[in-house]
C-alpha cells in the first residue's frame, strides 16, 4: 500500500507540556478561591499546581524563540487528577485549565505563530467519574450504558478497596474502567470525539496505550475518519517497543520512539546512568553501549519501519513517564549534550520535554513532573545548546528529511552523515573520556564535497598524510564532545 504521512511533522520540533506544571495565569475564566500547591514544592501524586492553558499562551513567544513548531499536550479534558488520564468528559476542557474557551484561544494563538497542537487521546479507558460509568454505578444492570464496559459482578465495587474490582480496568486500577470497544456505540463515541476536536482546529492525536485496544479494524477506522477531516493530522501512538503492527501505513503515522531514547542514553551516558531509574517503567537505557553496538541498534531501528514513517516518529529523551534525562545521568552534563546532539540529528521529529532545555531535573513519577523553573534557575548554556541545534535542524533539510549513513562506529567514536540533494552534513561524536581520532576517505562521503566546515562543536580537521590519489581527512573530536560539519565543494 502507498504510505502517506503528514509532511509538516517531518520538519517539526515538538515540545511536550504537562499543563498543570508549565505556567499559571490568573485569567478571569478560571476558578477562584482555590488553594494550589506551592509552585516549586516537590510534586505529589494527587496535588495540583494550578498550571493552565492561559499560562501556555503567555509562554508562546518563549517557545517561538526556542524554535518550537509543534506542541504535544498531555490530557486536558475534565478530570479529577493532575495528569488528567482519568477522563470525566471528552467534550469539555478541564475548567482548572481554562475550559474550552482557553483551548480555542490557544489554537488561535499557536496557529498565528505557525505552531501545531497535538492533544492526548485517552480512548482505552475512562474514569469512575465518566458520566456513562457513573450511570452504571447508580443504576446497576438497568443502566442504558451497562454494555459500554465489561462488568463482571454486582454491585459494582468501584470504591470498595477491600473488594476486588469486578469490572475490567486498565492495569487493574479500579479508577480506570476500560471501554468495551467491541460495542458499536463505544466505537462510534470515540470516533466522534476524535472528529469533533479536529474540527475545532487541533492538528493531531497522541494515543494513550493504543496497544490495549485490540478490536480488529478499530485503529484503521480511526485513521480513515481522522484523515477524512484533515489529511495532514498527525496520529502518534504510545508504543514502548517494536511498533511494526501499527506502523504499516494503515493506522499510525508514528510512535513515541522509546527504543531510540533507550539506545541513545546507553551510548551517550554509558556507566553514568542512575540504575535506580532503569526499572520503572521497565525498559533498559543500560548496560552501556559502545559505538558498534549503538550502530547496530540504530540500524535495526531504521530498518524496522518504512522511510516515510521513520521521518514522522516522535523522538524523545524524557517524558512524563520516565525520569528526566538530567537525573537519569546523575546530572552529568556531557551525557546530556551528547544525547541531545543525537536527538536533533536523527530521522524523525525531536520532542523536548518541558524544562529539559533549561536543566530541570526529576526522578520517577511524580518527580519527573516538576513545575517549570523561574528564569533565575535556568541553565542558560544548556538552553543555548538547544537553540543552536534547533536552528541547525530547521536550516538544513538534511537533518529533517535526509538519508542516514553510518561512516564509522569504533570504540566510543561514532560518525554518520545526513544528506539530501546538495545538503550534506557529517555528525561526529566521541563518548570516550579520551580524544578520538578517525580517518575518513573523502570518497566515502555523500556528494562531491572535498571540504568540511564546522557548524557546531569543537573539532579538528586535517588532511591525512597519504600517497593515495584521493585525499583522506583526519577528524579529531575532544573527549565527551560532538560536532556537526557541512560538506562543501572546494571553490
Catalytic residues: 208, 238
Neighbours of 383 (CB within 10 A): 16
For the chain, percent helix, then strand, then coil, each to nearest 5? Answer: 35, 20, 45
Strand partners of residue 178: 125
Contact 291, 413 (CB under 8 A): yes
Backbone angles phi, psi at 455, to 5 degrees: -110, -25
Contact 107, 200 (CB under 8 A): yes
Cell for 306? Answer: 518504512
Q: Which helix (H) or strand (E) holds 478?
A: none
Tell me how far apart the alpha carbons of residues 5 and 248 are, in angstroms, rounded to a whole number: 11
Strand partners of residue 483: 428
DSSP 394: H
Cell match 501556555: residue? 56
Tell me how far apart the alpha carbons of residues 268 and 279 are, in angstroms, rounded to a whole number: 19
Tell me how far apart the alpha carbons of residues 349 and 13 are, in angstroms, rounded to a whole number: 6
DSSP 371: P
Backbone angles phi, psi at 281, to 5 degrees: -70, 165
Cα-to-chain-centroid distance, residue 206: 9
Tell me how far apart the alpha carbons of residues 316 and 300 are, in angstroms, rounded to a whole number: 18
Distance set, CA 167 to CA 132, 133, 146, 171, 174 (Å): 14, 11, 11, 12, 8
Cell match 494550578: residue? 50
Q: What is the 3-state secondary structure (H, E, C) of 53-66?
A: HHHHHHCHHHHHHH
Tell me how far apart the alpha carbons of residues 232 and 7 are, in angstroms, rounded to a whole number: 7
Tell me how far apart the alpha carbons of residues 141 and 126 are, in angstroms, rounded to a whole number: 19
Cell for 130? Answer: 465518566
3 state DSSP class of 86: coil
Cell match 545521568: residue? 329
Distance set, CA 489 to CA 405, 444, 449, 460 (Å): 19, 15, 4, 19
Amino acid at each position: 500500500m502507498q504510505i502517506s504521512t503528514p509532511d509538516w511533522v517531518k520538519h517539526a520540533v515538538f515540545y511536550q507540556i504537562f499543563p498543570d506544571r508549565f505556567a499559571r495565569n490568573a485569567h478571569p475564566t478560571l476558578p477562584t478561591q482555590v488553594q494550589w500547591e506551592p509552585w516549586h514544592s516537590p510534586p505529589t501524586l494527587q496535588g495540583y499546581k494550578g498550571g493552565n492553558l492561559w499560562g501556555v499562551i503567555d509562554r508562546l513567544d518563549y517557545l517561538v524563540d526556542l524554535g518550537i513548531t509543534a506542541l504535544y499536550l498531555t490530557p486536558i479534558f475534565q478530570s479529577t487528577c493532575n495528569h488528567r488520564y482519568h477522563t470525566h468528559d471528552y467534550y469539555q476542557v478541564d475548567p482548572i485549565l481554562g475550559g474550552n474557551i482557553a483551548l480555542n484561544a490557544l489554537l488561535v494563538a499557536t496557529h498565528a505563530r505557525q505552531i501545531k497542537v497535538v492533544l492526548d487521546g485517552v480512548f482505552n479507558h475512562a474514569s469512575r467519574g465518566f458520566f456513562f460509568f457513573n450511570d452504571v454505578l447508580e443504576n446497576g444492570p438497568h443502566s442504558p450504558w451497562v454494555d459500554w464496559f465489561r462488568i463482571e459482578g454486582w454491585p459494582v465495587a468501584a470504591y470498595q478497596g477491600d473488594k476486588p474490582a469486578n469490572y475490567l480496568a486498565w492495569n487493574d486500577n479500579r479508577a480506570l474502567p476500560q471501554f468495551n470497544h467491541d460495542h458499536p456505540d463505544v466505537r462510534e463515541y470515540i470516533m466522534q470525539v476524535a472528529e469533533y476536536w479536529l474540527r475545532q482546529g487541533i492538528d493531531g492525536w497522541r494515543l494513550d496505550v493504543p496497544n490495549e485496544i485490540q478490536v480488529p479494524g478499530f485503529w484503521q477506522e480511526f485513521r480513515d475518519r481522522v484523515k477524512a477531516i484533515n489529511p495532514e493530522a498527525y496520529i502518534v501512538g504510545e508504543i514502548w517497543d517494536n511498533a511494526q503492527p501499527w506502523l504499516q501505513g494503515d493506522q499510525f503515522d508514528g510512535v513515541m520512539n522509546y527504543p531510540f531514547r533507550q539506545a541513545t542514553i546507553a551510548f551517550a551516558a554509558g556507566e553514568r546512568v542512575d540504575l535506580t531509574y532503569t526499572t520503572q517503567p521497565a525498559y533498559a537505557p543500560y548496560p552501556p553501549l559502545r559505538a558498534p553496538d549503538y550502530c547496530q541498534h540504530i540500524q535495526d531501528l531504521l530498518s524496522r519501519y518504512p522511510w516515510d514513517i521513520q521521518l514522522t516518529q516522535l523522538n524523545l529523551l524524557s517524558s512524563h513517564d520516565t525520569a528526566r534525562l538530567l537525573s537519569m545521568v546523575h546530572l552529568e552534563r556531557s551525557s546530556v549534550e551528547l544525547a541531545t546532539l543525537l536527538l536533533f540529528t536523527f530521522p524523525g521529529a525531536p520532542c523536548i520535554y518541558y524544562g529539559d532545555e533549561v536543566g530541570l531535573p526529576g526522578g520517577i513519577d511524580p518527580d519527573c513532573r516538576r513545575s517549570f523553573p523561574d528564569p533565575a534557575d535556568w541553565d542558560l548554556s544548556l538552553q543555548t545548546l538547544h537553540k543552536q541545534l534547533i536552528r541547525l535542524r530547521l536550516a538544513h533539510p538534511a537533518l529533517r528529511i535526509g538519508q542516514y549513513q553510518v561512516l564509522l562506529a569504533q570504540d566510543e567514536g561514532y560518525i554518520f552523515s545526513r544528506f539530501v540533494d546538495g545538503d550534506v552534513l557529517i555528525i561526529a561524536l566521541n563518548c570516550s573520556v579520551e580524544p578520538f581520532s578517525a580517518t575518513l576517505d573523502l570518497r566515502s562521503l555523500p556528494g562531491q564535497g572535498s571540504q568540511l566546515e564546522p557548524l557546531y562543536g569543537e573539532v579538528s580537521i586535517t588532511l591525512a598524510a597519504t600517497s593515495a590519489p584521493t585525499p583522506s581527512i583526519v577528524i579529531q573530536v575532544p573527549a565527551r564532545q560532538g560536532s556537526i560539519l557541512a560538506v562543501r565543494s572546494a571553490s
